[in-house]
Structure 1
Amino acid sequence: MAHTPHGQLHIEKHLRSSAFISDIVIGMSDGLTVPFALAAGLSGAVSSSSLIVTAGIAEIVAGAIAMGLGGYLAGQTEADHYESERRREIREVETVPEREKEEVRDVFASMGLPADLQTAIADELAKDKTNWVDFMMKYELGLDEPDPKRATKSALTIGLSYVAGGLIPLCPYFILSHPHIALGYSCALTLLCLFIFGYFKSKVTGQPPTRGAIKVTLIGALAAAAAFGVARFLNA
């Protein structure tokens, strides 16, 4: 929020992508694409929708666990890396304070502040070692303290998003017994969802929404077509 030269209130609108949204995107993207391709491939090889449903659910469970575990490990690695770097900064503040002060001055020098002000800020910051270390973590290393529950939240969000996305292409197979008929409905439903998902994904990440929606839809369609073609070829 800012004021214009004429005194009018100017509200800046920014659409920001959070870690939560990123996890949804990761889980939903794979959830829509992988089971869709699997169902399409099996539709070209089997004559029973029940087999596709069974295989699809098994894949969704396995995929959700694998994706969730990957999210958990990534979040835990981020937390471990942050703690490791923080311990190193604490040790350096204790053992080589003058060098750390020089690094503080370098940060403000890069911002264009004069030398006397750089020294004054560095000396003042050094009076509180906790704030000093916080400053070095953020502005020297570019690291923000991660949420301690980030790993668990990430695992659950990615896993559940994968399940939600994966059930969409399977819905027609629950209702229709003939896989070729179910495939047509599955394609229409999944491609529509991919387009909508791609649109909002691109909007959140600041990309052209329509172009992003088309790209995501084409990727899903190509994956399904490739799986279907391979299955038909192997069973020819």
Structure 2
Amino acid sequence: MASDSTRLLLGHKEKHFTAGDVVRDVIMGVSDGLTVPFALAAGLSGAKVPSSLILVAGLAEVAAGSISMGLGGYLAAKSEAEHYQRELKREQDEIINVPDTEAAEIGEILSKYGLEPHEYAPVVSALRKNPQAWLDFMMRFELGLEKPEPRRAIESALTIAIAYVVGGLVPLLPYVFIPRAQNAMFTSIGVTLAALLFFGYIKGQFTGHRPVLSAVQTAFIGALASAAAFAMAKAVQAI
């Protein structure tokens, strides 16, 4: 029976997407990178300043924005890891000091999956004999916490920062080649929308969402955010 189960497991390859954290960081970085520098450049274009000045200001914003976003990602991931360690220590203490209560919690958790006391009693007994497995079970099923990757904070910071730079350079490229800021702005709008559509399509491919719908949604949300930021920039100029 065991050999049959092993054979079935070896012959079954599941295709699950497991890079959710990385994709989330990329989405965060690219989305902000595409919208914020675009709004800044468009707002300055309305002030009739030369493309060279807009490019310098845009690049300065991309540099500052990537550092800020990367630092935010680092602190968020670091806080998540610290929270996990605090809860791990608390759960370890409870297993040592009130083991019967913790064992009862195992039964309560398993009962939610439809198991009767006589069915989950052997599981509770087996976990009590294996403190590490017991601790892992409580962290995952009682608290809903997954152990974070050791390098998660650094990886998150770098991923968000690099994604922000990549996204931020897209709306600024037209200002490199087109001296007249007004003309560069219209080109930047087209390039940014195309980038949002492409990015949304790729995001849909990775996440399993319908790629075309994901592309349209991403472009619409990005355009809406850019329009709002542009309107605010124009309003400030009018004051």
What is the aligned partner in structure 1 of residue 5 from structure 2?
none
Q: Identify the residue that residue 117 of structure 1 maps to in structure 2.
A: 119
The answer to whether 1:32 aligns with 2:34 is: yes
Q: Distance in 2 between matches of 1:171 and 1:225?
A: 19
Q: After superposition, what is the alpha-carbon deviation per residue over 1:163-193, rounded to whole angstroms, capped at 9, x for unaligned?
A: 0000011011111111111112211111100
| Segment drifting more, 161-170 vs 181-190 | 181-190
Partners of 2:99 and 2:225 lie apart in 1 by 56
User: 2:66 is matched with which residue: 41, 58, 64?
Assistant: 64
Report how far residue 211 of structure 1 moved. 2.9
Distance 1:53 1:80 in 2: 40
Once the two structures are superposed, the pairs formed by residues 77-116 of structure 1 within 5 Å of their partners are: 77-116=79-118
Of 171, 174, 194, which aligns to 1:172?
Answer: 174
Distance 1:54 1:37 in 2: 14
Asked if structure 2 preserves the Cα contact closer than 8 Å seen for 1:35 and 1:166, the reply is yes
Runs of 5+ unmatched residues, structure 1: 1-8
Q: How far apart, CA to CA, are the structure 1 residues paired with 2:137 and 2:228? A: 51
Q: Which amino acid aligns with 1:57?
A: L
Task: Quote the Cα distance in structure 2 between the aligned partners of 1:230 and 1:118.
Answer: 60
Are 1:17 and 1:205, in contact at CA under 8 Å, matched by a contact in 2? Answer: no
2:149 is aligned, of 147, 150, 163, to: 147
What fraction of aligned residue pairs are identical, expressed as a percent? 47
- Contact 2:48 / 2:182 at 8 angstroms: preserved in 1? no
One-letter identity of the residue aligned with 2:29: G
Q: CA deviation at 1:232?
A: 5.4
Summarize the alignment of residues 1-236 of structure 1 with structure 2, pairs less than 5 Å apart.
13-229=15-231, 234=237
TM-score by length of 2: 0.87
* Structure 1 residue 201: Cα displacement: 2.2
* Contact 2:31–2:222 (CA under 8 A) maintained in structure 1: no
Shifted more, 86-95 versus 46-55: the winner is 46-55
More helix by share: 2
TM-score (norm 1): 0.88
Is the alpha carbon distance of 1:125 and 1:168 closer, same or farther for their aligned partners in structure 2, counting shifts above 3 Å?
same
d(CA) in 1 for partners of 2:119 and 2:171?
Answer: 61
Gaps of 5+ in 2: 1-10
The 3 A distance-change label for structure 1 pair 72 and 227 is closer
Aligned length: 228
Decide whether the 8 Å contact of 1:43 with 1:180 is kept in 2: yes
Shift of 1:11: 6.8
CA drift at 1:124:
1.3
* TM-fit CA distance, 1:228: 4.6
Q: In the aligned structure 1, how far is the partner of 2:122 from the partner of 2:234?
A: 74
Cα 1:232–1:33, aligned 2, differ >3 Å: closer, same or farther?
Answer: closer
Secondary structure in 2 matching 1:111: coil
Offset of 1:99 from its aligned partner?
Answer: 0.5
What is the distance in 2 between the residues matched to 1:230 and 1:137?
A: 46
Check conservation: 1:31, 1:166, Cα contact below 8 A. Answer: yes
